[in-house]
C-alpha cells in the first residue's frame, strides 16, 4: 500500500489566492488536502491528483447545530476523507470520546474515510510506555464504540497516532520522540484494532511534528502508513520536500 500524506491546514490561509496557490503546489498522488470548510468547493475544482479532506464533521446529518457541518454535506462536496478527534478539537473545543464516537459513526455511514486521531499528553507519557498504551487503548475503545456491532465501513478507518507532547503547538521539551517510540506505539495500535475488529488490516499514520528533517526516519518503516502533517503543509516548498522524500526510493 502506498504511503499517505495528509495536509492539515487548520485555520489557514486567510486569503483565497494563497489557498489556490498552496493547493496547486500540493496536488500530488497519495496526498490528502484538508483545508478550512469555506475553501472545499474551490479546491475540489482544481485538484487533479490529490484527494480532498475535511478537518471535522458533525455527528448528525442535519439539525439545530449552529456552525456545524455534517458528513453527508461533505460527501456532496466531493470530500473523501475527514479528520476526527484531533487533539486541538479535544483540548480547545472540549470534544469528548463520546462525541467523537458519534462523529466516527456518522462519517463512516456517509461513506467518508475517517482519519481518527489518538495520542497521549505529556503527563501520561511521563508515567511510562505502559500508561501511554493504556490511555490510547481507552481512547480507541471509546471512539470506536458506536461501530463495533455495525462494522460500518471499517475498511475506511485510518488512525493517526498524534502524541500531544510531540506536536509543535504543545511540545514538551523534556520528552523526545524517537523512531523506536513511534514504531512501538503504532504496532500497539494495530494490534489493539485487531482485537476490536478481527482481521482488520489497519492503516496507522504518524501525526507528531512532521517536517522534511524527520520524515525519512519515520516513513521508511513499513508499519507506518503515512503522516498527518500540520504546520509544514502550509509551506509549499517544505511540503514538496516532504512529498519527494516520502516517495523517493530507499
Q: What is the pLDDT of residues 155-213, one digit of tens each?
A: 899 999 999 988 866 566 677 778 889 999 999 999 998 888 755 677 999 998 899 99
Name the region of 67 (left: φ>0; alpha: ψ -120 to 50; beta: rest): left
Instruction: Identify which of 239, 123, 227, 224 has the alpha carbon closest to the alpha carbon of residue 181.
Output: 224
**What does pLDDT average to over the chain?**
92
Q: Which strand (E) or helix (H) includes residue 54?
A: strand 51-54
Please identify every residue annotated as catalytic. 86, 162
Instruction: Identify which of 161, 173, 103 has the alpha carbon closest to the alpha carbon of residue 132.
Output: 161
* CB-based burial, 72-86: b 16+ in 10 Å, e otherwise: bbbbeeebebbbbbb
> How many Cβ atoms sit within 10 Å of the Cβ of residue 62?
10
Q: 67 burial class (0-12, 13-18, 19+ CB within 10 angstroms)?
A: exposed
> How many Cβ atoms sit within 10 Å of the Cβ of residue 44?
15
Q: Which strand (E) or helix (H) includes residue 71?
A: helix 71-76
Q: Which residues does residue 227 pair with via DSSP β-bridges, in sequence order?
A: 5, 206
Domains by residue range for the chain, with CATH: 4-247 (3.20.20.70)
How far apart, in whole angstroms, are the C-alpha atoms of residue 50 and residue 27?
5
This prediction has a pTM of: 0.95
Q: Residue 241 corresponds to which cell in the numbers above?
A: 520536500
In tens digits, what is the pLDDT along the chain, a chain of 250 residues?
A: 689 999 999 999 999 999 999 999 999 999 999 999 999 999 999 999 999 999 999 999 999 999 999 999 999 999 999 999 999 999 999 999 999 999 999 999 999 999 999 999 999 999 999 999 999 999 999 999 998 655 667 789 999 999 998 886 656 667 777 888 999 999 999 999 888 875 567 799 999 889 999 999 888 899 999 999 999 999 999 999 999 999 885 5
Instruction: Identify which of 189, 74, 195, 219 has the alpha carbon closest to the alpha carbon of residue 120.
Output: 189
Amino acid at each position: 500500500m502506498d504511503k499517505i500524506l495528509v495536509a492539515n491546514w487548520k485555520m489557514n490561509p486567510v486569503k483565497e489566492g494563497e489557498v489556490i496557490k498552496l493547493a496547486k503546489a500540493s496536488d500530488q498522488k497519495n496526498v490528502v488536502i484538508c483545508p478550512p470548510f469555506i475553501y472545499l468547493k474551490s479546491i475540489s475544482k482544481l485538484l487533479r491528483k490529490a484527494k480532498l479532506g475535511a478537518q471535522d464533521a458533525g455527528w448528525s446529518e442535519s439539525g439545530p447545530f449552529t456552525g456545524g457541518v455534517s458528513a453527508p454535506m461533505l460527501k456532496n462536496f466531493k470530500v473523501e476523507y475527514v479528520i476526527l478527534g484531533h487533539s486541538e478539537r479535544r483540548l480547545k473545543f472540549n470534544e469528548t470520546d463520546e462525541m467523537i464516537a458519534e462523529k466516527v459513526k456518522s462519517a463512516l455511514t456517509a461513506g467518508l474515510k475517517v482519519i481518527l486521531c489518538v495520542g497521549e499528553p505529556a503527563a501520561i507519557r511521563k508515567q511510562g510506555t505502559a500508561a501511554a498504551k493504556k490511555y490510547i487503548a481507552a481512547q480507541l475503545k471509546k471512539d470506536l464504540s458506536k461501530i463495533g456491532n455495525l462494522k460500518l465501513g471499517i475498511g475506511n478507518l485510518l488512525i493517526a497516532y498524534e502524541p500531544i507532547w510531540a506536536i509543535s503547538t504543545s511540545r514538551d521539551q523534556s520528552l523526545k520522540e524517537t523512531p523506536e517510540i513511534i514504531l512501538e506505539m503504532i504496532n500497539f495500535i494495530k494490534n489493539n484494532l485487531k482485537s476490536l475488529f478481527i482481521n482488520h488490516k489497519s492503516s496507522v499514520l504518524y501525526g507528531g511534528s512532521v517536517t522534511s528533517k524527520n520524515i525519512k526516519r519515520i516513513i521508511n518503516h513499513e508499519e507506518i502508513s503515512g503522516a498527518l502533517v500540520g504546520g509544514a503543509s502550509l509551506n509549499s516548498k517544505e511540503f514538496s520536500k516532504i512529498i519527494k522524500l516520502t516517495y523517493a526510493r530507499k
